[in-house]
Structure 1
Amino acid sequence: MVTWYHVFCNLSICKLIVTMSIDSCNEFVCAIRNLHDSRVGAAISIENLRSSSVDRDAIQTDQTDRSRRGGNVRMEGQHEVHGDFKAVGGSLCLDFTNTASARDTGSPNERLHTYEELLTWGEVVGALPKEGIEALRREAAQRPAEAEEALRQALHLRETLFRIFLRVIEGAAPEPADLTYLNEAVAATYAHLRLEPGAPYYIWKWDESPGRLDRILWPVVHSAAELLTGGELERVRICDGEHCGWLFIDRSKNHSRRWCDMRDCGNVAKVRRYRRKHKMEASA
């Protein structure tokens, strides 16, 4: 039902657009459309918007730049979170580092509080086949102490990878301790790889290794080794969003990607830019 309030709001917006320059008007419309598309809507004030194909039986070494989500939707920082996880990094190891954000605030947003959440992440991004995830879930229920240790290892690995890739972005060498740790993880991980006939080429597959709760981390380590030794390493970027810190591979044609996701950090930046520009025009 249309009320006088709706009429007033629509007339106010029309009056605002009429008084804008063409560039400001276009930017305003684009910002509103993006806000609608990302389903931020009226439930979140713009004032408060601030940051804080893989064969499942083979090894995942790369992903297309898209989200594969599960669970309920909520907002956390700048990111629209579905089941707490998004796959926008372009590589499994970068998606793994992106299970935390806002590391520069002293109070990071942590998404891996339990081993079960680690398995849920692996399921969402396709780190292991579904049956492999379910097997780990059953094992973890029987051995909770070992599951806690596997989670501790996962967090250590994640932060080590984040520091290494951050140094890559900065054009600096990693800390010797971090590189030593990763090399040890690579050596342990590759002991579980097997070559099997495929069509038309041989493929890498993991051995079964029943009972190894750290098995969820093997594809992550493999992905990191592949990225660090491949041609896309120079395209690894960190999101420009304030207090974001997510990593991604820039596969844009002109290598100009700045945001982890245009619907999140990119949209927030666009709205901020519009507000600053309109404020300057209004005060001129």
Structure 2
Amino acid sequence: MNDGIVDVTVDLVVVEQFLNTLDERTFSWHGERHTGHDGLTSVQALSGWLEAHGLVTAGQELGPADLTAAVALRDGLRAALIDDGDGAKTAQALAAFPLRLAPDSSGRLRLAATSGTAGLDAIVETVASNVAGGGWSRLKLCSSTDCRWAFYDTSRNGGGRWCSMEACGNRNKTRAYRRRHAD
């Protein structure tokens, strides 16, 4: 710990998993209906998720304000992924989490969130660093309206639209094909 800042580094995979604590999928796949759920419905659920991802230590006290901040951050970041051509929604999602420059363990400067909200600062720092470095544009929400799953776009040109070509991509392309041939 340095000057009250925990030096925890996470990557966009953890941010993706954080965004997917809200599962809005409502489609059927191989005959089974998927029903979404919210993984952050209680302080205990938030604490468990943060502990499982190494963002807080076991037994670290969290409160209702931490849950409120986590849900607001997640919802704001998800909204920013939908349509954020100018970055305003991402900036708005991060507004409640002040950032400053702080030295890391090697003495170099890094972005440090200093909100004091247990476990969320590392997520905010990762998002802010990736916004600055261009990696944030690869994190997307599935374009399928009955999915909206967050995914990291690994396509060559960054133009991926669906979380999975096998599921969402195939369903959407099949729907478009049927619409074209129904006319």
Q: Distance in 2 between matches of 1:92 and 1:112?
A: 15
Q: Distance in 2 between matches of 1:242 and 1:166?
A: 11
- Matched residue, 1:102: 24
Larger radius of gyration: 1
Could you state the TM-score of these two structures normalised by the residue count of structure 2? Answer: 0.65
Contact 2:22 2:37 in 1 (8 A): yes
Alignment of 1:73-112 (within 5 A): 90-102=12-24, 109-112=37-40
Sequence identity, in percent? 22
- Matched residue, 2:58: 134
Gapped regions of structure 1 (runs ≥ 5): 1-56, 63-89, 141-146, 207-211, 278-284
Query: Cα distance, 1:258 vs. partner?
Result: 3.8
Gapped regions of structure 2 (runs ≥ 5): 1-5, 27-34, 178-183
162, 174, 178: which one aligns with 2:88 = 174
Query: Cα distance, 1:156 vs. partner?
Result: 1.1
**Residues 1:162 and 2:78 are matched in the alignment:** yes
Alignment of 1:102-251 (within 5 A): 102=24, 109-124=37-52, 126-128=53-55, 132-136=56-60, 139-140=61-62, 147-168=63-84, 171-175=85-89, 179-180=91-92, 182-187=94-99, 190=100, 194-197=103-106, 214-251=117-154
Query: Cα distance, 1:186 vs. partner?
Result: 3.0
Q: Distance in 1 between matches of 2:152 and 2:96?
A: 25
Q: Distance in 2 between matches of 1:167 and 1:268?
A: 19
Contact 2:25 2:149 in 1 (8 A): no
Inter-CA distance 251–59: structure 2 relative to 1 (3 Å threshold): farther
Contact 1:100 1:109 in 2 (8 A): yes
Inter-CA distance 267–204: structure 2 relative to 1 (3 Å threshold): same
Inter-CA distance 219–152: structure 2 relative to 1 (3 Å threshold): same
| RMSD, aligned α-carbons | 3.9
Inter-CA distance 180–203: structure 2 relative to 1 (3 Å threshold): closer
Q: Which protein is richer in helix relative to its size?
A: 1
Could you state the TM-score of these two structures normalised by the residue count of structure 1? Answer: 0.45
Inter-CA distance 101–174: structure 2 relative to 1 (3 Å threshold): farther
Spell out, residue by residue over 1:169-227, the C-alpha distance to the aligned partner (whole angstroms, 9 max, x if none).
Answer: xx25535xx7356234133xx48x55223xxx858698xxxxx6x21111111111112
Q: What is the total number of aligned residue pairs between the two structures?
A: 161
